[in-house]
A = this chain, B = another copy of it.
Amino acid sequence: MNLDALRQQPGVAAQPPAETTGFVFNHTMLRVKDIAASLDFYTRVLGFRLIDKRDFPEAEFSLYFLACVPEGTQVPEDDAQRRLWMAGIPGVLELTHNHGTETQDGPVYHDGNGDPRGFGHICVSVPELEAACTRFEELGVPFQKRLQDGRMKHIAFIKDPDGYWVEIISNR
């Protein structure tokens, strides 16, 4: 659909209002049961970097902020500078760890795709789709949908340690 047709979809504002200049879709937050398992998955399997952690010991939770940082990007060493930098970039993933959930039996959180539905998935795009999926297989990552499954041969879905779906598409 061309840009003019997109602009004419019911509900779409003709122009982004001037008051929204500088707005950034900064992050998405997911609760996770076992933060070490999630950090392993997002950093080792998907290449995210952990760029901030905030502890709330009284309320018994911690927040972890991750991003796929493009090669050559200098992540600020200074904490305050790094937080400011992080607030201005899109594509941050916030993981909330409620302390102690990791000791519970079975799944703790709801992936949003069974009832009641709502949130569906996050998506990571990759330069080499088939190579990425082969590597996920080799790493033992569970799939919700392999490239060859179903009609859509250009998308796959893997699952993170909590069962959240992560769509994998090509960005080349």
Inside 8 A of A131's CB, which chain B residues have their CB?
19
Among A6, A79, A87, the most chain B Cβ lie within 10 Å of the Cβ of A6
Q: Are B50 and A6 in contact (CB under 8 A)?
A: yes
A49 nearest CB across to chain B (Å) = 6
Q: Are B119 and A112 in contact (CB under 8 A)?
A: yes
Inside 8 A of A69's CB, which chain B residues have their CB?
16
Question: Do A24 and B124 form a contact, CB below 8 Å, given A3-B75, A30-B119?
Answer: yes
Q: How far is the CA of A62 from the CA of B53 in the complex (A)?
A: 37
Q: How far is the CA of A89 from the CA of B31 in the complex (A)?
A: 24
Q: How far is the CA of A17 from the CA of B117 in the complex (A)?
A: 34
Count class of interface residues, chain A: 35 or more
- By DSSP majority rule, is chain A's interface helix, strand, loop, or mixed? mixed
Question: Do A125 and B12 form a contact, CB below 8 Å, given A116-B116, A118-B119?
Answer: no
* CB interface residues, A 27-51, toward B, < 8 Å: 27-31, 35-40, 43-51
User: A residues near B, CB below 8 A?
Assistant: 1-3, 6-7, 9-13, 16-17, 19-31, 35-40, 43-53, 64, 67-69, 71, 75, 77, 79, 82, 84, 87-94, 96, 109-112, 116-127, 131-132, 135, 162, 164, 167, 169-172
Q: A11-B35, A25-B92, A26-B169 are in contact. List 5 more A-B contacts (CB 8 A).
A: A28-B119, A29-B121, A90-B90, A110-B117, A112-B112
Q: Which 5 A-B pairs have the closest CB atoms?
A: A20-B47, A90-B91, A11-B39, A119-B119, A110-B116
